[in-house]
Structure 1
Amino acid sequence: MHVIRTAAMPLILCAALVGVTGCAPTAPSGPSSAPTASPRHPAAADPVAEWVDQRMSQLSIEQKAASLLMLHAPGTDPAPLRALVDAGVSGLILMGDNMPATPPELSALTEAVQADAEAPVLVGIDEEGGEVQRLPWDDSAGAEQLRAAPPPVAQEAFGSRAAALSAVGVDVNFGIVADVTADPASFIAGRVLGGDPHAAADRVAAAVAGERGAVLSTLKHFPGHGAAPGDSHASVPTAPLTIDEWRAGPAIPFAAGIDAGAELVMTGHLAYPAVDAAPASLSPEWHRILREELGFDGVVVTDDMLMLQHNGLPEYADAGENAVRAVEAGSDLLLYVLPADPSEFGISVEGLVGSLVAAVGSGRVSAQRLDDAVERVLTLRRGLVSPSDVGSGE
């Protein structure tokens, strides 16, 4: 596991990470440690990157903006979900109301929503096990059992769960809770994988290893719900920690999961005022920390953006403004658990796309920021295609 990178990393972080990685001394410099010259070979072309570049060159700004959306439509009829895909979104999130009675029925639903063989739509789900799960037939161990068991048990449980998801056409699991708390009264207490940072980190890394090769792994809720009392579904919980206290505690499970290879990190609607007054999902500083200090280069997905409107605070009442702030801050994929009538919350695909396009047109969101997000999401989608098909340039 890598150590969190920062120009002035406090000794407390080094000490905190010893249990996970150790803090190795810097290698000596001098002639004896000089690298040995090796023959130069031209770098092999990356077929995924080439495909992404080609696809992006064909997209309008409206199509790019739509590709940053991952939405939900209720029910087991695939038609409303397929309509979202046809509108250009990159992902769908399935909730309990999308669950049919049997795995074959769910397989039929996920197959029916696919429209682009070259870049399958991302089909995501919250399948943590235990308190939060959508598949009625998922009997793998949840957090309560895994906290009391050694890490290999977590790897086995998440491996079994991932196989069940993959078998029914789900390819993204929003299932690995990297939050940590020892407070039984915490909103998130029943869902954490460890009561202290190192115990949680070991099981988070094991969960990522278990899901590898079956589904794309997501760590949530960055930068950590355990330190922020309250329920982010109805408020913006606030954590009292300084940045150094965060690095020595809540950061550790996220760093472990990133180092283990998690492809996505979900930002929470959580505020750490000592770092930034804005919730992390809308905070440029927390996105910088995630990229530069934790070294994450995958897709940053928000928690359900409707949660910001549900909290009733006037500064989050405008759905379009929330979307612009999230992308401006560094989010790549915006998640919306929509009801049957999204206009109830002033939301439509066209409206969200219009807000993002206007923000790019005004210069508020740079064209490069938009392209960076689109590139990451398309790369993730293209990665779902089998290597043989990628290589053949299907």
Structure 2
Amino acid sequence: MRRRGPTRLGRAAALALAAVIVVTGCTAEPPPPEPQPGRLVGAPAPLDVTEVYLQQRIAAMTLREKLAALVMVHVPGTDAARIRSVLDRYGFGGVIIMGDNVGGPARTVAGLTGALSSEAGLPVLTAIDQEGGIVRRLREDDAAAARELRGLPASAAEQAFRTRAALVAEAGVLINFGIVADVTPDSSSFIRSRTLGESPSAAAERVAAAVRGELGTVLSTLKHFPGHGASPDDSHISIPRSSIGMRAWRATHAVPFRAGIEAGAPLVMMGHLQFDRISPLPASLSPTWVTILRQQLGFDGVIVTDDLLMLQRSGLPEYENPLRNAIRALAAGNDIVLFVLPADPGSVGVDLTGLLDALERAVGDGRLVEARIDASLHRVLSLRRAASGLVEPYVDCGPKCWGESPRSLALADVPPTG
């Protein structure tokens, strides 16, 4: 068995102890450190093997492979072989499970999702819209949803989303696009029936509780940043617009998102919402909103767009080209671009080969910067690698990965690795 070095927690504890000794001015010689199980005498500190994997993996990828890994698609139907053929052919990093992919209960869906990844060490990111209530792909989800949860304590939202997360996990799905962090006082608003609270503070309590409920079971996603409730319109067929300014936004629509981020949500979905006084672009194409999310709300996880084909359905000429939309979304700082392909891609769709060709050209002419693509790729591959449960480097880097040294191995009469 390969010997491992101390855990990160163990190293952190040692550093904390050293800091206390310095601050208190203690001059007595400290006692010798306790032996650490699995650590050989004279061994160097081990590397972060996951980070080694990510660096090695990214370095081995072509530009086209990098770009494809930042694309999530929907492929219609329940034929796992057909869906996987699309993922493998293009190298896409994710797939969203929609209603037409659900051929039965969660255990049936698990048969489909379990057949989609060609590499155990880097599974495809599977996602689903499982809010409960009127938005649920897994029909057996009978846990309380937004309409009911708005009138119940936050603890009810935590329990409901814990139950919901277990069902999503049973279906073999990694990500739930299920926590609506929008808030609106307008009863006529398109998003109203799906919100979790009557006010920013009430929504924030339930959003944070929902994240806690899903934690450790599925990857939670907050949507639709920066706040669908700022406009009553439907972003599936239009670009909802708002005239509120930054101060008003911070006091209202930002509050539930901040709470969900602080609770540990690893993904945020960027909506096609335009706040005219803050950015002239829909948030999904706006570097301004990505900067606000990263710097003001402190979000360091994965940002995924809402379905980019929704922009085309708005009918606005500036968004009629799906290739340009994808380029602008990645250039803005989104980590994953989402395309929910219909059964007939000729209706409102995108040519997938043309998409990757266009993204490659955009890097070549400077509209996309490869270093920024690599940063997104690092975040996305981190999720995929964690989902695998594996910890080996992509290419074995020998004793230094495990905190071993040739001398210590010789003393222990253990043959060197690598």
Deviations 1:26-53 (A, max 9, x none): xxxxxxxx966899xx875322221111
Query: Structure 1, unaligned stretches of length 5 or more?
Result: 1-33
**Counterpart among 105, 123, 127 of residue 108 in structure 2:** 105
Deviations 1:35-72 (A, max 9, x none): 66899xx8753222211111101100000110110000
Match of 2:334 in 1: 331
**Secondary structure at 2:220 match in 1:** strand
Q: How many residues align?
A: 358
| Aligned counterparts of 1:329 and 1:128: Cα–Cα separation in 2 | 27
Match of 1:269 in 2: 272
Question: How high is the TM-score relative to the length of structure 1?
Answer: 0.87
Match of 1:178 in 2: 181
Query: Structure 2, unaligned stretches of length 5 or more?
Result: 1-21, 31-43, 397-418
**Counterpart among 291, 301, 304 of residue 304 in structure 2:** 301
Match of 1:234 in 2: 237
Deviations 1:205-252 (A, max 9, x none): 000000011100000000000012200001000012100110111101
| Aligned counterparts of 2:25 and 2:318: Cα–Cα separation in 1 | 57
| Aligned counterparts of 1:88 and 1:37: Cα–Cα separation in 2 | 57
| Aligned counterparts of 2:144 and 2:263: Cα–Cα separation in 1 | 21
Match of 2:10 in 1: none
How much has 1:363 moved relative to structure 2? 1.1
Match of 1:390 in 2: 391
How much has 1:365 moved relative to structure 2? 1.1
| Aligned counterparts of 2:380 and 2:335: Cα–Cα separation in 1 | 7
1:37–1:332 Cα change, 3 Å: farther
What pairs with 1:198-237 in structure 2 (closer than 5 Å)? 198-237=201-240
1:392–1:311 Cα change, 3 Å: closer
Match of 1:4 in 2: none
Match of 2:372 in 1: 369
1:133–1:35 Cα change, 3 Å: farther
Structure 1 segments of 4+ aligned residues over 4 angstroms from their partners: 34-39, 391-394
Say which one has the larger Rg.
2
How much has 1:373 moved relative to structure 2? 1.1
Q: Percent identity?
A: 51
Match of 1:84 in 2: 86
> Which letter does structure 2 place at the counterpart of 1:280?
A
How much has 1:84 moved relative to structure 2? 2.4
**Secondary structure at 1:342 match in 2:** coil
1:35–1:176 Cα change, 3 Å: farther
| Aligned counterparts of 1:57 and 1:223: Cα–Cα separation in 2 | 34
| Aligned counterparts of 1:248 and 1:75: Cα–Cα separation in 2 | 43
Match of 2:4 in 1: none
| Aligned counterparts of 2:211 and 2:392: Cα–Cα separation in 1 | 27
> Which letter does structure 2 place at the counterpart of 1:240?
S
**Secondary structure at 2:165 match in 1:** helix
**Secondary structure at 2:138 match in 1:** coil
Match of 2:35 in 1: none
Match of 2:62 in 1: 60
| Aligned counterparts of 2:294 and 2:327: Cα–Cα separation in 1 | 19
1:37–1:149 Cα change, 3 Å: farther
> Which letter does structure 2 place at the counterpart of 1:390?
V
| Aligned counterparts of 1:291 and 1:36: Cα–Cα separation in 2 | 37
| Aligned counterparts of 1:235 and 1:49: Cα–Cα separation in 2 | 41
Match of 2:323 in 1: 320
| Aligned counterparts of 1:267 and 1:68: Cα–Cα separation in 2 | 15
How much has 1:90 moved relative to structure 2? 0.6
Q: Is the 2:162–2:210 Cα contact (8 Å) retained in structure 1?
A: yes
> Which letter does structure 2 place at the counterpart of 1:329?
A
